[in-house]
């Protein structure tokens, strides 16, 4: 349905001082702080987790060498979605407008809608991180208890959900340093960045930036800051829906990913019969994760 003059009555009145409601600033590209972006040329992308070898055993003198096997552990699939939105304006509405070009104004509104949708889609990966209905390639939610090929478990959340504070963040970094690969071998992972909703930004600032410990009268140094932990600091994502959930992004490769199948494109065309002008915006992408070791999360104590 096209936008007609009846929907733009005030915009067509002489003497109108201002039109407002479409000029708000917006939060853009917050997903880039969390996801690694790659391009895609297929309908979907798959990434396979490989398991290597276990710990090498002692070989007895004169005994045969032991053999081990390696293979595939699981497959993560990224299925691209098509996001699109359009609007049309009647020929008469454009013809009678006395002020701004309607097309320019509503095209900006279209861009805002597309950008907002992308950020919501990206944040949904973390918003559903503790929900067992949203499973990854290994059949487990992003933050939970993950079984390995070697028979052990890796837990990338605290045993008891904890609010963000100095103690819980230190424990998260300790847990991350103890992560192992699919065969139980130690891997050198570290926390790189703290991800918080707006409600926790002040807590994050105090914990990571203060020179001394927060909330104590002791004259102790801020160990995390002094040791260079979380070298990328923290980022605030305004599309996280749980006000007390927080996450730590690690330096695990092939973790949280954003595949771009088709970058955002805009198009405009006129309809010969009606004279309406139609505007469209479209893009294809997917968000997800391959290796759960890329994130550690707590849904908070509440």
Q: What is the pLDDT of residue 97?
A: 67
Residues 6+ apart with CB under 8 A from 173: 190, 191, 224, 229, 230, 248
Residues 6+ apart with CB under 8 A from 78: 40, 44, 45, 46, 47, 257, 259, 286, 287, 288
Q: What is the pLDDT of residue 24?
A: 54
For residue 130, tell me if it sits in a domain.
yes
pLDDT grade for 144, boundaries at 50, 70 and 90 = very high
pLDDT grade for 161, boundaries at 50, 70 and 90 = very high
Q: Please tell me the total count of domains within the chain.
A: 1
Q: What is the pLDDT of residue 2?
A: 58
The CATH number of whichever domain residue 249 belongs to comes to 3.90.1690
Residue 27 confidence (pLDDT) above 90: no
Report the chain's mean pLDDT, rounded to a whole number: 87
Segment 78-112, tens digit of pLDDT: 999 999 999 888 877 777 764 446 667 777 888 88
Residues in the chain: 302
Give the other-Cβ count within 10 Å of 299's Cβ. Answer: 19
Q: What is the pLDDT of residue 98?
A: 42
Tell me which residue of 96, 153, 131, 122 sits closest to 285, measured CA to CA.
122
pLDDT grade for 5, boundaries at 50, 70 and 90 = very low
Give the other-Cβ count within 10 Å of 270's Cβ. Answer: 12
For residue 1, tell me if it sits in a domain.
no
Residue 162 confidence (pLDDT) above 80: yes
How far apart CA 15 and CA 105 sit, in angstroms, is: 19
212 phi and psi angles, rounded to 5 deg: -110, 170
pLDDT: is 123 or 59 the higher one? 123
Q: Do the Cβ atoms of 173 and 189 come closer than 8 Å?
A: no
pLDDT grade for 296, boundaries at 50, 70 and 90 = very high
How far apart CA 35 and CA 249 sit, in angstroms, is: 10
For residue 60, tell me if it sits in a domain.
no
* Domain, as residue range, for 267: 32-49+76-298
Give the other-Cβ count within 10 Å of 259's Cβ. Answer: 22
pTM given for the model: 0.87
Give the other-Cβ count within 10 Å of 25's Cβ. Answer: 6
Q: Do the Cβ atoms of 299 and 246 come closer than 8 Å?
A: no
pLDDT grade for 200, boundaries at 50, 70 and 90 = very high
DSSP, res 33: G
Residue 302 confidence (pLDDT) above 80: no
Residue 127 confidence (pLDDT) above 80: yes
Tell me which residue of 192, 195, 253, 246 sits closest to 38, measured CA to CA.
253
pLDDT grade for 11, boundaries at 50, 70 and 90 = very low
Q: What is the pLDDT of residue 99?
A: 41
Residues 6+ apart with CB under 8 A from 170: 223, 224
Segment 210-257, tens digit of pLDDT: 988 887 777 789 999 999 999 999 999 999 999 999 999 999 999 999
Q: What is the pLDDT of residue 12?
A: 41
Q: What is the pLDDT of residue 103?
A: 66
Q: Do the Cβ atoms of 242 and 288 come closer than 8 Å?
A: no
Tell me which residue of 22, 9, 255 sits closest to 116, measured CA to CA.
22
For residue 6, tell me if it sits in a domain.
no
């Amino acid at each position: 349905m096209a936008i007609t003059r009846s929907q733009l009555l005030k915009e067509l009145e002489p003497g109108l001082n201002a039109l407002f409601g479409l000029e708000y600033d917006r939060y853009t590209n917050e997903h880039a702080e969390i996801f690694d972006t790659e391009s895609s040329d297929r309908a979907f992308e798959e990434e396979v987790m490989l398991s290597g070898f276990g710990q090498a055993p002692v070989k007895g003198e004169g005994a045969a060498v032991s053999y081990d096997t390696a293979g595939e552990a699981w497959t993560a699939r990224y299925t691209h979605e098509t996001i699109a939105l359009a609007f049309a304006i009647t020929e008469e509405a454009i013809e009678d407008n006395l002020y701004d070009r309607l097309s320019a104004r509503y095209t900006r509104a279209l861009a805002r809608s597309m950008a907002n949708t992308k950020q919501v889609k990206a944040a949904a990966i973390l918003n559903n991180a503790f929900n067992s209905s949203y499973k990854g390639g290994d059949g487990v939610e992003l933050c939970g208890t993950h079984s390995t090929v070697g028979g052990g478990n890796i837990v990338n959340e605290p045993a008891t959900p904890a609010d963000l504070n100095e103690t819980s963040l230190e424990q998260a970094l300790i847990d991350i340093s103890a992560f192992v690969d699919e065969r139980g071998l130690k891997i050198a992972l570290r926390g790189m960045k703290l991800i918080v909703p707006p409600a926790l930004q002040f807590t994050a600032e105090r914990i990571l930036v203060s020179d001394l410990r927060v909330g104590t009268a002791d004259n102790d140094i801020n160990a995390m800051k002094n040791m260079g932990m979380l070298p990328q600091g923290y980022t605030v994502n305004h599309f996280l829906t749980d006000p007390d959930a927080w996450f730590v992004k690690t330096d695990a490769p092939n973790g949280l990913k954003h595949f771009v199948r088709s970058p955002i494109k805009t198009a405009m065309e006129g309809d010969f019969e009606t004279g309406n002008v139609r505007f469209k915006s479209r893009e294809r992408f997917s968000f997800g994760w391959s290796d759960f070791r890329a994130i550690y999360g707590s849904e908070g104590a509440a």
